Amino acid sequence: MTSNASSAPSLWLRRPVPRAAASVSLVCFPHAGGSAAFYTAWGRLLPPHVELVAVQYPGRQDRLAEPAAESMDELAEAVAEVLRADRPDRERVLFGHSMGASVAWETALRLEASGTPPRHVFVSGRPGPRRQRPGSVHLRDDDGLAAELRRLDGTHAELLEDPEVRAVLLPSVRADYHLIETYRPDPAARLSCPLTALTGDRDEEAPVADVAAWSTATEGAFSSLVLPGGHFYLVPQVERVVASVLDACGASAPAAHPVFP
């Protein structure tokens, strides 16, 4: 267990719209270089019985002074430990995008192994475990790393032109890319709970056929959803994504339209 794993849940978990009386926690895992704030708008879409709980990885924003996780095992073990101690009376639904999809799946495996299984797991914008391949983006220089972020269109381009922003942002991005590009999932590992895989129809990082390979990552029910868009399809398609998640939470539609800053 790392020192991060023993940290208070408040360090790892963000609740943009606190709902102490909720019966379901929707636990969301960010992409490489991303933060819990990526999911903030989702909190306004959820009904009263579902609380958004966004995971904040170390090494970014208010956790900038902490070292980023060096391996998937380290990160997933830490998050699973924190979740086991957080609101144990609630059901949990897990959602992860891109790198976060793999973190969510690995965390769910650990939760199931400890007898605290999630109700449902959603994996987005990430090939299934048997279709994942090592990568080398983390070995590029800063300009090469920034170019990759521009290509994926998940970071405001003007931020990547600011030297001070780059100095703060790129170390966590590089650490996350190292983590996910050196990660080797166990091809024999299986969840027991239902799993839903989502992707954009123009996502070159997670083609539809590769995302469908998540069907072998669970012994529970499997479903898939393809929506218009590229790797960050879920930003413009937020209401449709949240509606599909709410089906697993016992609600049929978003509670309200999101309000973006």
Active site residues: 98
Name the CA dihedral angle for 205, 236, 246, 106, rounded to a multiple of 10 degrees: 30
With tokens 């605290």, the residue in question is 116
Inter-residue contact 107 to 135 (CB < 8 Å) = no
200-223 b/e (C-beta count within 10 Å ≥ 16 → b): beebebbeeebbbebebbbeeebb
Tell me which residue of 92, 126, 128 sits closest to 111, measured CA to CA. 92
Inter-residue contact 109 to 123 (CB < 8 Å) = no
Inter-residue contact 258 to 238 (CB < 8 Å) = yes
Biggest CA-to-CA distance, the chain: 47
